[in-house]
Structure 1
Amino acid sequence: MLKVEKFTCVLALFMLLNAKGFSTVSIQLDSMVLAKVKQKLHDGTASERTQIAYKALIASANKLLSIKNPTVMDKTIVPPSGNKHDYLSISRYWWPNPEVSNGLPWIRKDGETNPDTQTDAVDRKRLGTMTGGVKSLSLAYYFSGDERYAEKAASMLKTWFLDDTTRMHPHLEYAQSVPGYSKRRSSGILDGKSIAAVVPDAVAILSKSAHWTQNDTQKINQWLTDYVTWLTESNLGKTENNQNNNHASWYKYQVATLALYLGNKPLAKDMVNLAQQSLEQQLDAEGKQTHEIARTRSFFYSCYNLDALTSIAMVGDKVGLDMWNYKTKDGKSLMLAFKYLAPVINGEAWPYTDIHGTDVSDLMDALARMSVYAPSKEISSLLKKSIAILIEKEQATGKKNEDLQSLSLTSSLFL
């Protein structure tokens, strides 16, 4: 009887996915979980948190319908190439040198964002608007079936990647530039992580819409193929891959995710293997992330790196590698890294510098992934405590936590 009931549930979900599912394989989003959330939203059995999050998603999507599509052509600072199609950003932790009349070259103040680096004069803010907008719109389309959201998401993707007059060239040669320095910086590759995080799954969702064609998919896949080629063959890409911190993790995440999406499983597998091996250099015997704790935002960057590593582990599942339970010869693992951060969740003070203080929200995405793909009593306990901390803060401030809101629509935590 149990087997029959289980088969019936699977069949029902299959039918739901077939009716309004994805035409291509999702990468970071779990299509089965999304189907369950959608079903519960439609039949009125979704949790109150999920219903609130859905309403907020629709409200955000409605506002996005009327915005101008972001494009790299709108920046006012021209890249060194002289071509506005080339993406340009300025590294956020760099400031004019007060001891020099013209401020050049700029100097680094780790963890302190210079607001002048985040303006519309360069592309980083627009890239965030595009990827964040496409994510919200594609999810709004998936849950509601409203074609207006698919049309706008498709339009934003075409403007940024496909239209000859507005497209970004598929490289990051001038990302995270620093005024006064002519040398290009591999750290700018970090800017591209939102492309890998959003575009493959958005295309999978939009593939059901009349506003996104197979030709559109072929064109954006060519852009992504060219981008992966640049990531893997350029000197900047090779340099970034050889770092020992979150930059290398997010580089491997981008290549692994896009390679898997594009059907290049050998390359994706290579990246997951390299990420597993990198635990030897990134962690000490206690699970401390040695390169991240040296930062002025040491807790944040420790969580940020785990966000990347657990995202890579999800790719690993799809290429036959279990990074969740992988251990180096010295016993270093993802679990060891989580254990090192656990005392903060349990109320202990963080022993290193973090100029903005510790925020459990920074660990939520990675912790939620770990709870699904490598469940244990310890991880379950940490997750419950983290959620309780954030809910208590919500009640105190009257403001919903964005991480919990997002997880309530894309994970099984609040089903």
Structure 2
Amino acid sequence: MCPDAKNCSSPLVCRAERILRQKVMTLPDAPAARSPGLPTEFYSEGDYWWPDPACPDGPYIKYDGRSNPRSFNRHRKLLIRQSVQIATLSEAFRMTRSPKFLKKAEAILRAWFMNPDTAMRPHLSYAQAVHRRCSGRSIGVIDSIHLAETALAVRQKTFCEALDPETAATVKEWFARYLAWLTTGSFGQEERIHPNNHGTCYYLQCAAFAHLTENHALLEELRHDFRERLLGFMDRRGAFPAELRRTKPYSYSLFQLNVLSGTAALLSRPEENLFLHVDRQGHSLALAASFLYPYVTDKSAWPYARDIAYWKYWPNQPAFLFLCGYFLNQPAWLRQWRHMRSDLKLFEVIRNTPIRMPRLWISHLLQEK
């Protein structure tokens, strides 16, 4: 229990109080022995790659859906930790206007995006490496999906206006440089056309970063692609065939719909609700949400194969219930979301939950006070 519980106005503020006592940690705090890069360059290893029993000293081989606990993921954990901290502190400051939350957030932001000794370099060239195969892959772009809530938290009007101007400007510049790497480099371009949740995650990140950096031209490009292409990831029933073919079809289906909903939320505007958009093949977010909703309320009815791992940890308060419920005016979905628990203790669940504070994803449509 939070030691300051008597003074906490909400569970979120209580979590923010705990963050005040946490050490600021950055990538150099987690040395990556196999990384070819600098201590400030992000490095991760593919989850599903293992030593080959037939050739222990040879290249790793893939077992889809089975996470290798020895894969290096400390940089991912630190990035997620920072994202949770900044989002929580930003919301706590909006709710309380307490300068202590702002001060702690500024210290974290400076360490991650300003200090030349600790700031993360704005690229993911060494993400999702595979031992003895490659030092990084385009699908590693998905690892920065948790930076989306960092960007949205910094963009939040009340928080952004209170930030030290130099800190705010430098953080925005960092995200502009990272967005340029995403949209012009080969890794980003490969992810953009990826035919499953990786493609959707690319769009979600670009939308979040474009909001923070006020890249309106890019936002228009992303809206065009959403209307013309992204809804095509589903079939006529609203299911996602590319996810159903995976060894964890249930959690991947949830993940895809959560990310697609988050992307639609960021790209919607007062004059255009993309949750209402129906493409030429009849695909829509309403169709996808209606398909998956019954299996959220009753997982035992899931008619496909069970996930080969972590089955019991899902659905874990999926964000699509909140976002689709909000934008499609579905009170039952909102009620279901409120009644569900969010358990973010297991890394497998944490890494697949990039939308933890749904209010941040609609803040550009709200009148903030």
Q: TM-score, normalised by structure 2?
A: 0.83
Tell me what 1:22 maps to. none
5+ long unaligned stretches in structure 2: 1-5, 344-352, 364-369
- Does 105-114 or 264-273 show the bigger shift? 105-114
How far the C-alpha of 1:261 sits from its partner, in A, is 2.3
Aligned equivalent of 1:374, options 328, 331, 342: 328
Aligned residue number for residue 79 of structure 2: 127
Q: Matches of residues 68-147 of structure 1 in structure 2 within 5 Å? A: 68-78=23-33, 80-102=35-57, 104-117=58-71, 119-120=73-74, 123-147=75-99
- Give the match for residue 62 of structure 1: 17
Aligned residues: 344
Shift of 1:98: 2.6
C-alpha RMSD of matched pairs (Å): 3.1
Q: 2:268 aligns with which of 305, 311, 317?
A: 317
Cα distance per residue 1:312-349 (max 9 Å; x no partner): 11222238543211112121111111122133145351
Structure 1 residue aligned with 2:201: 250
Give the % identical residues.
26
Q: Secondary structure at the match of 2:273?
A: coil
Deviation at 1:408, TM superposition (A): 9.4
Q: Residue 249 of structure 1: CA displacement?
A: 0.5
Instruction: Classify the secondary structure of the residue corresponding to 1:171.
Output: coil
- Residue among 98, 102, 111 paired with 1:150: 102
1:224 aligns with one of 148, 163, 175: 175
Structure 2 CA distance for partners of 1:387 and 1:62, relative to 1, 3 Å: closer
2:94 is paired with a residue of what secondary structure? helix
The 1-side partners of 2:36 and 2:127 are apart by 12
> Any idea what the Cα deviations from partners look like across 1:373-407, whole Å, max 9, x if unmatched?
122xxx4334434555x37x9xxxxxxxx999966
Instruction: Decide whether the 8 Å contact of 1:324 with 1:374 is kept in 2.
Output: yes
Retained in 1: the 8 A contact 2:261–2:324? yes
**1:334-370: CA deviations, max 9, x gaps?**
1111122133145351122223336664463111111
Q: Contact 1:138–1:149 (CA<8 Å) still a contact in 2?
A: yes
CA offset digits 1:284-310 (Å, max 9, x no partner): 111110111112221111111111111
- Secondary structure of the residue aligned to 2:291 is helix
Gaps of 5+ in 1: 1-50, 394-401
Judging changes above 3 Å, is the alpha-carbon distance between structure 1 residues 113 and 73 closer, same or farther for their aligned structure 2 residues?
same
Tell which structure's C-alpha radius of gyration is larger: 1
3-state SS, counterpart of residue 113 of structure 1 = coil
2:159 is the counterpart of 1:206: yes
Determine which of 158, 172, 175 is the counterpart of 2:124. Answer: 172
Q: Which residue of 1 aligns with 2:366?
A: none
Does the 8 Å CA contact 1:244/1:278 hold for their aligned counterparts?
no
Tell me how far apart the structure 2 counterparts of residues 110 and 151 of structure 1 sit (CA, whole Å). Answer: 43
Q: Report if the CA contact (8 A) 1:300-1:362 is conserved.
A: no
Aligned to 2:348: none
User: Counterpart of 1:207 in structure 2: which amino acid?
Assistant: C
* Deviation sequence 1:44-93 (CA, Å, 0-9, x none): xxxxxxx9995432332233223221212223225654422211111222
* TM-aligned CA deviation for residue 239 of structure 1: 0.2
TM-score (ref. length: structure 1): 0.75
Cα 1:403–1:87 shift into 2, 3 Å: closer
